[in-house]
Amino acid sequence: MRHFLIKVICFSVFILMASVALDYAISSGLKRMNDYRFETWNDIVESNINADILIMGNSRAFSHFSPKILDSVLHTNSYNLGIGGHPFNIQYLRYKVYEEHNKLPKVIIQNVDFFTIQTANIGHEREQVFPYIRDSIFRNNLTNLGFSWAEINLPLFRYFGYQLVIKNGLMEFFHLHHYHNQSSEKGYRPETGKWNPTALNKLENIESVVDSKALNLFENFLDDCNHKHIRVVLVYSPLYFKAMQKLRDKEKFDILFHNLSNKYAIPYLDYSHDSICMDSTYFKVAIHLNKRGAELFSTQLAKDLKLILK
């Protein structure tokens, strides 16, 4: 019996060590990829950003706001922290990890829209956080964002069911293949391709609600920025006018953001009725500008910010 127990313990230790090694190899490989899902997280945790101006928001942030254009007009150092497919509670998590590893920004440009004041688990492109799960901010928050105890604490467990992610990570780690997957520039990744109205045509309306928990978190964030002397600018970036027509309760959101603007004495720039919204040649889909539209918008925004941020 004693020999059997020794064998079981030795086998368990071997499995644990192999799991730790494999976890390290996959995670290290993913970090090496030229892939927008990991590039921004790498810059954050490696303290490579330290920007004066940060852009926050969902995919309408990372595909609409060009740091290169903002830098050229405002003579500053900006970075886009936009994270696609997630409302403010996930955006805020990314910012807290940023704050842990980088200096505080002077200005935060927060893109707001019908999807901002909601809460969600990390679901879309969930694998993007896998290599960084040992970071203390993640470990303290992921149980509330859809991750199990085992995924957070056991090596390799979070990769179960992600065969392609495992394969890509190992291929990259062992230098068998180097991946380029829609690389970003200072977090900015504009949409490419021609106008596609398919999704818009299928929609009867765009519904959204204001989540009280998310609103409370958002106001705490604005309070915190005030205390830390970080200037916040709320920006509603352009969306195609036909999407606007299908958006329910737009007035409710206008009132909400105007009230927040007044309460915290911060600017609110609403481009949802800008002339760019009338021309589909500036859009990839109804809620996403293409590269041409994003750069036109970023240029206009930079000029407006130049007047505000004197």
Query: Which pLDDT tens digit goes with each residue over 87-133?
Result: 999 999 999 999 999 999 999 999 999 889 999 999 889 999 999 99
Report the pLDDT averaged over residues 64-69. 98
CB 285 within 8 A of CB 190: no
Place 18 in a pLDDT band, splitting at 50, 70 and 90: confident
H/E element, 30: helix 2-32
User: What total of structural domains would you count in the chain?
Assistant: 1
Residue 193: pLDDT over 70: yes
Buried b (16+ CB within 10 A) or exposed e, 77-93: bbbbbbbbebbbbbbbb
pLDDT tens-place string over residues 126-143: 999 999 999 999 888 998
Confidence at residue 183, expressed as pLDDT on a 0 to 100 scale: 80
Confidence at residue 124, expressed as pLDDT on a 0 to 100 scale: 87
Mean pLDDT of all residues belonging to the chain: 92
Task: List the beta strands (DSSP E) in the chain.
Answer: 34-35, 53-56, 78-80, 107-111, 180-181, 231-236, 268-270, 283-285, 288-289
**Tokens coding 246:** 């299908």
DSSP for residue 102? S
Q: Specify the CATH number for the domain of residue 14.
A: 3.40.50.1110
CA distance 264 to 5: 64
CA distance 67 to 288: 17
**Tokens coding 254:** 């206008």
Confidence at residue 2, expressed as pLDDT on a 0 to 100 scale: 67
Domain that holds residue 228: 2-308
Cβ neighbours of 113 (radius 10 Å): 23
